């Protein structure tokens, strides 16, 4: 059976704080703007964008590794947004940096070069966001060596 397109519903709690309801049975999430607009009762929309890109990139890397039966010995991902003003003076996410760290050393991950060459292509969210926001992805092995 085909997967239903993702959807969610936001309900304003107060000011800039929203309760986000996903599919039935999934936990709700609260988003909010940081002070002075909001109370930082939850992640901001910028945080949620980063979480979506980082989660998708990590899942895509894991998927590509699993195709080759390779174990990354854990994946830790950090994403950073560079926020600044556009030509009209409006705040925008100007660039995203994603740093993925494998638990295993590169020489312990079979076919890592092939995986690194293709995993970003599997990332639906990251590839979509990249069409409008420059996104840099770096991958490091368990020894801290940059492999991509």
User: Has residue 142 got a pLDDT over 70?
Assistant: yes
**Is 104's pLDDT higher than 90?**
yes
Given a cut of 90, whether residue 135 has pLDDT beyond it is yes
pLDDT at 76: 98
- pLDDT category at 136 given cuts 50, 70, 90 is very high
pLDDT tens-digit series, residues 43-92: 999 999 999 999 999 999 999 999 999 999 999 999 999 999 999 999 99
**CA distance to 26, 34, 48, 81, 83, per residue, from 30 (Å):** 13, 13, 11, 20, 22
Ordered DSSP codes for the chain: -PPPPP--EEEEEETTEEEEE-STTSPPEEE-PPTTTS---S--HHHHHHHHHHHHHHHHHHHHHHHTT---S-EEEEEEEEEEE-TTS-EEEEEEEEEEEESS-GGGSTTHHHHHHHGGGG-HHHHHHHTTS-EEEEEE-TTS-B--
The pLDDT of residue 95: 98
Average of per-residue pLDDT across 4-32:
94
Residue 97 has pLDDT above 70, yes or no: yes
Q: Which domains does the chain have, with CATH numbers?
A: 45-140 (3.30.300.20)
Asked if residue 53 lies in contact with residue 135, where contact means CB atoms within 8 angstroms, the answer is yes
The predicted structure's pLDDT at residue 96: 98
Predicted local distance difference test score (pLDDT) of residue 4: 79
């Amino acid at each position: 059976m085909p997967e239903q397109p993702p959807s969610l519903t936001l309900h304003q709690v107060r000011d800039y704080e929203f309760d986000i309801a996903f599919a039935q049975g999934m936990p709700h999430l609260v988003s909010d703007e940081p002070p002075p607009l909001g109370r930082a009762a939850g992640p901001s929309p910028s945080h949620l964008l980063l979480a979506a890109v980082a989660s998708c990139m990590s899942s895509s890397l894991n998927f590509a590794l699993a195709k080759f039966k390779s174990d990354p010995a854990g994946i830790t991902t950090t994403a950073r947004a560079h926020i600044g003003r556009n030509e009209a003076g409006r705040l925008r996410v100007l660039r995203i940096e994603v740093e993925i760290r494998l638990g295993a050393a590169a020489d312990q991950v079979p076919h890592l070069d092939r995986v690194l060459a293709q995993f970003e292509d599997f990332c639906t969210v990251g590839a979509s966001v990249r069409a409008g926001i420059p996104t840099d992805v770096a991958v490091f092995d368990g020894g801290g060596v940059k492999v991509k």
